[in-house]
Structure formats: structure tokens, C-alpha cells
Structure 1
Amino acid sequence: MFGARNVGLFSLRRAAGLGQSRLRWCLGHALTSSTLHPKDQHSDDFSYTDALSVSQLKHFLDSAGIDYRDCYEKKELAERLHGARHSLTPSLRSELESCASGSQPRPDLTQKNRGDPLLQEERRTIEVFDRSAPSVVHITTSSLVQRQFSLDLSEIPLGTGSGFVWDRDGHVVTNFHVVQNAQRAKISMADNTMFEGKLVGAEPDKDLAVLRIDGLSPSRPIVPLAVGSSHGLRVGQKVFAIGNPFGLDQTLTTGVVSGVGRDVKGITGRTIRGVVQTDAAINPGNSGGPLLDSQGKLIGVNTMILSPSGASSGVGFAVPADTVRRVVNQIIRHGRVIKPSLGVNCAADQQARQLGLGGVLVLSVVPGSGADEAGLLGTSRSGWGEVTLGDEIVEVDGKKVESAEDILHVLELSEVGEEAKVVVRRKGRSETLSVKLQARAE
């Protein structure tokens, strides 16, 4: 039987009266044109890669992810590309053919536009660092000591730490223990310009301090760090720490949120609640530096590590950003943190437990305080020595309290002048009192 092409040629011969030799020429030409030289034959043999320059060959090898470090000549590059022709994507093959034929402009082969070897995650990390690093500063502290038998003063270095720009007014946030006992603090910016730092105020219980850059010119712009929120942090989300460990400025370490809601003892012995735990490497010199989320926003201030040797052990802690925002804003506004108080003096927790109490025992009430006006009762002793226990505070603003520290933690989220709902147990009965909060006496 004849194929479709043979039938067509046979009909053509009958119609045109072609001779046998003419038929052989037509058949051979048709087979050669359609079978031996298909439209994309040049795509299969890749011989046209000879038309490309060495830079272009390297460009396409880079784009295809093909290693060519062992190639020394252009011929070897072409052979390497030819050998990997089946692994090229259709779009890359099309670009290659168009470029070789001259129908498409040659690609820009500058280093910037050659195949990007970075992963998307790496590019995001670089972007976070580039955006945040200008806001991170290096702090060095010292004290002035008068020499014996002389009026000369010597400047004795105390230590170094990190900090970050809080606002365009030149306020810098760091840890309290970075500037503790220091008489001078020098702030080195990311561009290595040096300024004197003046202490605005501190909150030792939260290990936070605020400095202000002295002599900052209005013509010199500074970049504040973006402040996020520590509320809603999830274990496992990526974090970045920028600081100056061991004096090595502008150092980036990465990790994840290892834990949330941790309670750790601060430098004063009081508990810092809601601390963020991370495995990002934090070493001496990182203190006071920012802990950032994947958007480059502040979620904590690196404050301490858990390590017998003093070096990073993969367990670091940061004061949560929500606490930092509240404390820093008060220090900038008032020079100190104004802490709300009920106006009571409480018994030690151990004494309350020895008496079989589960709440906080009121020893005395400050005259004229909110507690005094609300009618809270303190512990009293009669003329013949009989002791009458005062009120037992068991709940504040809907939160159960078992220690004086619990009360302080609840109240620090409130403002002076607000009213707190206090539930007390008095002579076996529960009563709810409304107490107006006043500033705690320092």
C-alpha cells in the first residue's frame, strides 16, 4: 500500500506527466527536506553554540546550574553545555537558540545580572541585615579613676556591649548591665563615627537602659530600628541577632524562637517575665543588641545566656519587645519608669505559706493610698499581743496571685490612675474591692 505522501506524488505524476527520473528527484527532495533536516535539527546537535562567546557560554551554564570549574577552553565549555542539553528548561533552550541566531539581544553578562547563586532564603537574610544593621550601635563604657597621690584622672575601660537606635531624636536602647557603674559611654555607629552617650534613665528590674547621643547634628540622619511585637511569637519562627560579640561589630547570627513566656531572674534578682528564648548565638558583647523577626522588626533585646563558660550554648534570652516599648517610652518621657502600686506592704511569701495561706498576706496599708481608700486591712496586734491577720489578696484584675511578684507583674501592665479589681479573703469570706492605683514610692 502507498503512504499518504506516495499517493500524493503518484497523483502528481499522472496529472503533470512527469518522467521516472523527475519523480525520483521530487521524492528524494521531499524526504531530504522533511526527514533528514527537521526544523529543529540545529537544536539537537548544538553546533551553533560555537557562535556564542565564552562569557555567554558561562552565562547559560550558570543559569542551568552546571559546574564548569574544570573547563579551561571555550570548546570544553561548549561540550559541557552540549552534554547537558537534555536537562535545560524549555525557556532556557529558547533563549539559547534565539541568542545564537541573533534574533534576541545578547544577555547582560555583568556580574550583577549573571546567574544569581543565592537562594531566596539567603537573599531575605541579607535584606534583613542590610536594612537593620545601620540602626545597631557598639557601646564601650569606662570609668574615671583618680591616681593615688595625684590629681590626674585615668579612664579605665569597663566593657562593651550593643544597642540600637530607638528614634530620630538620638535615643539608644541597651541593657542596664552594659552601662552599670559606668561614668562614660561611647556610641559607635555603623559607619564608625563615634559619639558620647548620656544616660537618660534605666530600669534595672528589666535590665534596660536608654542613652542619648550627644552632639548629634540635625543634618546627620539616623535610622531607627523598626519595632514589632513579642505577642503571638511562635516556637520555631526564624530570628536574627545583630550585635558586637567579643568586640566584632556588625555581627549577624541566626536561629529560631526556642521558647516563649520564660521567666528568668534579672540582674537585680527580680524575675523578668515573658522572656523570649532563642538558639541564635549570643555571646559577650551581644548584650543590648536587637533580636529581630524575619521582617527585620524588633521582637526582643538580647540580655543573657545560659552557659557555665560565658559563651553561647544555644540558649539565649531576650527581653520581649512589648516590655521594651512600655519601659523605654516611660524612661524617655519621665526619666524613669513610673510603677503603679496598690499601696500595701505584703508579708514574705514564705511567711504566708507557713500560715497556710495560698494568697498574699497584707501586713500594712499605706495611709492615703488607693488601698487605704478602698478599705483593705493590714495585720494588727492587740494590746495583749493577739495577732489579727490582715486581708489575703488572692486575685488582681481577674488573675490569680500567689506571691507579691505576681501582683507586681499584673500591675506593671496598668497605668497610674486606673482602678484595679482586687479580690481578698477576709475572715473566711471573699470580697471584691476597687483600688485606685498610685505611683509607687521609689
Structure 2
Amino acid sequence: MQNSGMQNAPLRALAALTLVALAACGRPQAIDTEGADPRVVQARGTLAESEQATIAIFQSAAPSVVLVISGDPSGFSGEVGAGTGFVWDAAGHVVTNNHVVQGAQTVIRLPGGEDIPAEVIGRAPQYDVAVLRLQRAVGSPALPLGTSNDLQVGQAVFAIGNPFGFDRTISAGIVSALGRQLPTQEGREIADVIQTDAAINPGNSGGPLLDSAGRVIGMTTAIFSPSGAYAGVGFAVPIDTIARVVPQLIETGRAPIAGIGIVAADQSVATRLGVEGVLVWQTSGSSPAARAGLRGTNPQAGELGDVIVAAEGAPVRRLSDLTNTLDRLGVGGTVNLTVRRDDRNVDVQVQIEDIGGRETAVTIRK
């Protein structure tokens, strides 16, 4: 799995392309046209409805899709990474992937070529989402938002971005699959990720994935490719997740991390111990898990801790099964867990709290 956003020195690719084109030209050859019938340009009819629809989508959305340059835009102080972002609101906020904005400086390049410094005001690594604020508002309108909860496999989608630095490129495809899970931070995965066969390459990350009505239904974030380039399998963070997270990032700079405060044993450790589920290695004294009576592992005494085997009645086979359930229920809610304790199952109700910044946020004991 590779992020589709970071790429360096797109001019190198353009230079190579230019060299190939020049090499293919060679010396012009004279063409004898004496006696040949003059060629007439044939008039064509109206563009097909599907073509007109694609053109309309691009013309409407492209002015609100920007190039995100992370690093030193001059290129003198090191490598420069480039990805894509899109205008979120009239206040000058731009949404992109968190992995796109890793450099010390970030600049937004507008469709007309103007560069505007931007500040990263919020990050949610657990969803690979980041929000930037431009130094001044721009005239580009916010893209209309759709929903991702009613998508169907097979429906048309369109990706707009800056693959290899070639700005404002549109590609078309379909929703190839739904409900995928995409790893981000250790032990966490983005749930309900959209899979598409629309052409996505390095530089596309952070760009909008649109439906046939021109609404944003996802944000391009990664590709699966042995070569690092387009292989027909791309992934997008669902817009329902983005729409929930972005207002929190604008207001507070971070998104709450729903958790119960456990340190889980690494899956390989659990497997070696013959455990199927999430083995609780440790709980902190003030965590919701500790207050609910969950038990940690005592390796000195050879005593296994509780093994979480179900959450809200659904099987828990790995940590992401648990964290996805916690994200869905949200901070402030409660989760009903079934734990294997000794030789019996015990049902436990645990409060869900924001554990961002704690040592036990997404810790795995190896």
C-alpha cells in the first residue's frame, strides 16, 4: 500500500517526456500532395451526454482543486513533496491528506499559478486528514459535499488531482468496492474506505473523488501498486468521515481519538500464546478500562489478561475491529465488550473517552 500524494521534482518527468517527443520528431519530410484530393474536416455532432457530463464536472470542480506543496517551494533547501487539496469553505480552509503536509513549509498553488502560503491548523493522523488555512481567502468556491453512506459498487466516480505534478487532471472510473479498511497509525485503520479504479498516481493524494453529480464523496489517499504507479486499485477516505472530522480540526486543531485506555499485546504475541482476540496487556489506573475492571497481563506470574473477543456483539479478532467500533460509537458513548477471562466469557460495559495524547492511545505491546 502506498500513499498517492508525495512525489518529487515533477519537472524531471516532464523533461523526459520532452526529450522523447523531440527524439521522435527528426527532420521534417517533404510530402508530395500534387494530384491529391484536399482533405475536408468533417463536422461532428453534439457530444455524447456522458462526455458533456464529465466536462461539466471538471469545469465546475477544477477551480476549487489546488496543488499542495510541502517543503521549500524554491527547491533549494531539499526535497519538495506535492499533493492535492480542495477548497472546503469561504474562510480559506483547504482539506488534504495528513501525509501530504509533512514539510516545514506549505504553499497552496492556485489553478492560475499563484502561490499562497498556508498554515496547517489541524491534523487527524488516524484518518489521514489535515486542514490548512490560507493567508487570505480566495475566490474559488467550496466544493459541494455528498454522502458516502449510500454509494453503490459500479457507480461512476471522478478523481481530480495533480498526478506527477501535472495540475488539474481528471480521471474517471467506478466504485470498485466498499467497506475497505486502510491502515494509518499503529493499530488503527480508516473504516469504510472507498476502492476505485479511477486512475490515481503520486500527486493525487488529498484530491476530491466526485460522484456523477459533482459532489465530493471521498478524498483520494492511497494506491495499491507493486510499481508505485497506477495499477487500477485506489482508495479514498469517505466523505462522511471527513465531514465529521474537519469541523473539529478547524475548531481545536485535532480530532478526538475514541478509546478505552488499554495497551494491547501485539497480534503476533497473542498468536504465539494461542489467543484469538485482543489481549489486554495493561490498563492505566485512571482509564475507562481500569474503572470497568478489565484485567491486564502479568508475565512474571504467567497470568494472561482479559481477551476482548466481541464488541457490540460483533467478533473482535484484531485491534482494528475494536478501534473501528469505538470510532463508530464515538467519545462519550459506551461499548459493550465480551472478554474471555480464565475459562469463561464476561460481559463488560466500558465508557469511551478521548484518549488522544495518552500513552495508551494506540499502544501495542510487542
Q: Deviations over 1:272-327 (max 9, x none)?
A: 33221211111222111111111111121112222233322222221222222233
CA distance in 1, matches of 2:106, 2:356: 29
Letter in 1 for 2:67: H
Q: Unpaired runs of 5+ in structure 1?
A: 1-68, 73-113, 146-152
Say whether 1:121 aligns with 2:39: no
Distance 1:138 1:116 in 2: 36
Offset of 1:435 from its aligned partner?
1.0
Cα distance change of structure 1 residues 269 and 160 upon mapping to structure 2, 3 Å threshold: farther
1:331-350 correspondence runs (5 A): 331-350=249-268
Aligned equivalents of 1:228 and 1:242: distance in 2?
Answer: 16
Give the partner amino acid of 2:62.
A
Aligned-pair CA distance for 1:334: 1.8
Q: TM-score, normalised by structure 2?
A: 0.79
- Answer yes or no: is 1:419 the counterpart of 2:334: yes
Instruction: Give 1:138's aligned residue.
Output: 67
**Structure 2 residue matching 1:209: 3-state secondary structure:** strand
Note the 1:168-207 alignment, pairs <5 A. Answer: 168-180=90-102, 182-207=103-128
1:211 aligns with 2:132: yes
Question: In the alignment, which residue of structure 1 is the partner of 2:225?
Answer: 307
Residue aligning to 1:64 = none
**CA separation of 1:221/1:380 partners in 2, compared to 1, >3 Å: closer, same or farther?**
same
In the TM superposition, residue 71 of structure 1 has moved relative to its aligned partner by 9.9
Q: Against the structure 1 CA distance between its residues 242 and 71, is the aligned structure 2 distance closer, same or farther, given a 3 Å change threshold? A: closer
Name the structure with the higher helix share.
Answer: 1
Q: Equivalents in 2 of 1:327, 1:133: separation in Å?
A: 24
Q: Cα gap change, 1:409/1:122 in structure 2, threshold over 3 Å: closer, same or farther?
A: same
Contact kept? 2:256, 2:356, Cα under 8 Å: no
TM-score when scaled to structure 1? 0.66
Cα distance in 1 for residues equivalent to 2:198 and 2:120: 29
Q: Secondary structure at the match of 1:310?
A: coil
Map of 1:162 onto structure 2: 84
Are 1:379 and 2:308 matched, yes or no? no
Partner Cα distance (1:315, 1:168) in 2: 33
Q: Any conservation in 1 of the 2:69–2:106 contact (CA below 8 Å)?
A: yes
C-alpha contact 1:399 1:410 (8 A) present in aligned 2: no
Mapping of residues 212-227 of structure 1, within 5 Å: 212-216=133-137, 220-227=138-145
Report the CA distance between 1:268 and its aligned residue: 6.5
Task: Name the larger-Rg structure.
Answer: 1
Question: Structure 1: how far apart are the matches of 2:80 and 2:304?
Answer: 49
Q: Which residue of 2 aligns with 1:16?
A: none
Distance 1:396 1:141 in 2: 40
Aligned runs of 1:229-268 on 2, under 5 Å? 229-266=147-184
Deviations 1:171-198 (A, max 9, x none): 1111222211x12111122343331110
For residues 368 and 348 of structure 1, the distance between their equivalents in structure 2, rounded to whole angstroms, comes to 23
RMSD over aligned CA atoms reads: 2.7
Is the contact between residue 188 and residue 323 of structure 2 (CA under 8 Å) also seen in structure 1? no
% identity of equivalent residues: 44
Q: Is the 1:204–1:268 Cα contact (8 Å) retained in structure 2?
A: no
Q: What is aligned with 1:401?
A: 316
Query: Which whole-Å CA distance do the structure 1 matches of 2:258 and 2:189 have between them?
Result: 17
Q: Matched residue of 1:205: which SS?
A: coil
Higher relative contact order (CA 8 A, sep 6+): 2
- In structure 1, distance between residues paired with 2:67 and 2:224: 23
> Any unmatched runs of 5+ in structure 2?
1-38, 358-366
Give distance in 2, aligned partners of 1:403 and 1:226. Answer: 36
Structure 1 Cα separation of the partners of residues 187 and 333 of structure 2: 28
Task: Pick which of 251-260 and 317-326 moved more.
Answer: 317-326
Contact 1:361 1:392 in 2 (8 A): yes
Q: Is the partner of 1:387 in helix, strand or coil?
A: coil
Partner residue of 1:53?
none
Classify 1:161/1:393 alpha carbon distance in 2 versus 1 (closer, same or farther; 3 Å). Answer: same
The letter for the 2-side match of 1:139 is V
Contact 2:73 2:80 in 1 (8 A): no
How do residues 255-334 of structure 1 correspond to structure 2 at under 5 angstroms?
Answer: 255-266=173-184, 271-334=189-252
Q: 1:298 to 1:71 in 2, by over 3 A?
A: closer
What is the identity, as a one-letter code, of the residue corresponding to 1:122? E
Query: Post-superposition shift, 1:142?
Result: 2.0
Query: Which residues in structure 2 correspond to 1:2-17 (within 5 Å)?
Result: none
The separation in 2 between residues aligned to 1:201 and 1:215, in whole angstroms, is: 17
